[in-house]
Chain A
């Protein structure tokens, strides 16, 4: 009886000891268990992961560039022959820097320079010249007598050539359209559109940079009444740089080759499909408010949240975005504040604020990969699941309205305007009208918290 009892007590002791020992490992076990369970959660997100890869890694570091400089008589005033003691016009100094960067900069792979003219029949001619020839045109003036270039034809020819060279077109012109047939003014937008049709067809994008420069010489307005030409002495006349090419390469040219961009920028066809983003719910800098937490404990980035707004406590949280691949003007907090939209599907959502990363945030490892932070407020859910979209719609550039005119005959009275610029821009915009509505759109999925 006794031995049997002691054996059973030994068993009990053994059981006890083993349980205590296993108790020591509880935490480990607990974590293992939870980890295996949560490990499935990121897998659900896997199809999204490639989407979330930073675009910058894939984008090329260099681009082929073809520079087209219009050298009609109308351009002569931008490039007056240099005289000792006279300052270069802004056009001259800017273009000098630009072509020098194209020629010698590290971001340009293959380069070619062309002078855009027209032949006796009015057809556009693109003269391939050396860097030095183009430079001498810019600094010493245009010696040729070229009546003009029909704008849509010039664009078409330059584009065609760049497509053959697999290069980014940089087209510099005053964009004053001077057809002999006045009727062509009426169809300017559709002519521009059809000239650039190939670009849209091949998925190329168009960036237009507007700038002004002093103009010394004969000015040829598009509207020939009352004056057919005027002599200007340093009035500010607009000129434009069009950059057409693959989005990533245009990006390289705009950001790396053109150093200082003018404030007037317009972008057509740009779309960013993989902006990196994440809901920031556990960082000290951006504390969420209300009941909101990442659907998966370990997901990084967190693109799905659980939330439940209370009547008195709306949910508020911050989404980090890496917008570094966007054109610099679109990264301005002011621009973002104006144009960024927060749209809810299955909930009401609005944007509280948008801020750019400051020094403190750049020094925080978890946050350093995001350049901008959008505070989102969700006061009410209308469904148990849905999405909150943060998107930037294509916006018609506001400056175009201030730079266009219906009569450019007297640039002294109305400086800094281009004849029917809106029509030209309308034509480009019409080209991309049927594409996506947004430059980028990221979606934060949500489930109602249980």
Chain B
């Protein structure tokens, strides 16, 4: 299920894995691993930003530019994950690998934004970062 979901998610933009002989490695290992790591790491960074840095510790990193910093940090991690995954599974590196890393980076931006919308209301200092919507106060 999870394999199908993540394979579909990535192959939607990337097409079938290249080189084709590693199709199973991509579908059964690399795509699900990358997808799950993307999900959890993004969630962790969002929670760190809103609840640790801007609620428990009150570090003053509540401005949009700070939020963007974390967004970019997450994006860099999201770019690195696929390359690490591909290399650690003994898969031949191909331009497909970097396209995959790029698509994963785009997904990380979207996911980071969605998680921010979802969790920012619980933050004390950063509940309006990056913008006030949809919270009303």
Contacts and interface: CB of A to CB of B under 8 A. Distances in A.
Interface of A: 9, 12-13, 15-16, 19-20, 22-23, 26-27, 29-31, 33-34, 37-38, 281-282, 287-288, 290-297, 306, 317, 449
Contact of B28 (A16, A38, A282, A291): A38
B40 interface: yes
Chief secondary structure at chain B's binding surface: helix
Contact of B52 (A16, A23, A34, A291): A16
B40 A26 contact: yes
Interface stretch (B19-27, B64-72, B102-110, B128-136): B19-27
Contacts of A293: 20-24
A1 B15 CA distance: 53
A291 B33 contact: no
Nearest to A30: B33
A27 B24 CA distance: 17
Interface of B: 2-3, 16, 19-25, 28-29, 32-33, 36-37, 40-41, 43-44, 47-48, 51-52, 55-56, 85, 122
Chain A interface helix/strand/loop/mixed: helix
A317 B16 CA distance: 18
6 contacts: A12-B51, A16-B43, A16-B48, A31-B29, A38-B28, A449-B20
A293 B92 CA distance: 14
A294 B56 contact: no
B28 A34 contact: yes
Contacts of B41: 20, 23
A16 B122 contact: no
A26 B32 CA distance: 10
Contact of A290 (B20, B32, B33, B47): B20
A329 to B, nearest CB: 34
B48 A33 contact: no
Nearest to B24: A297
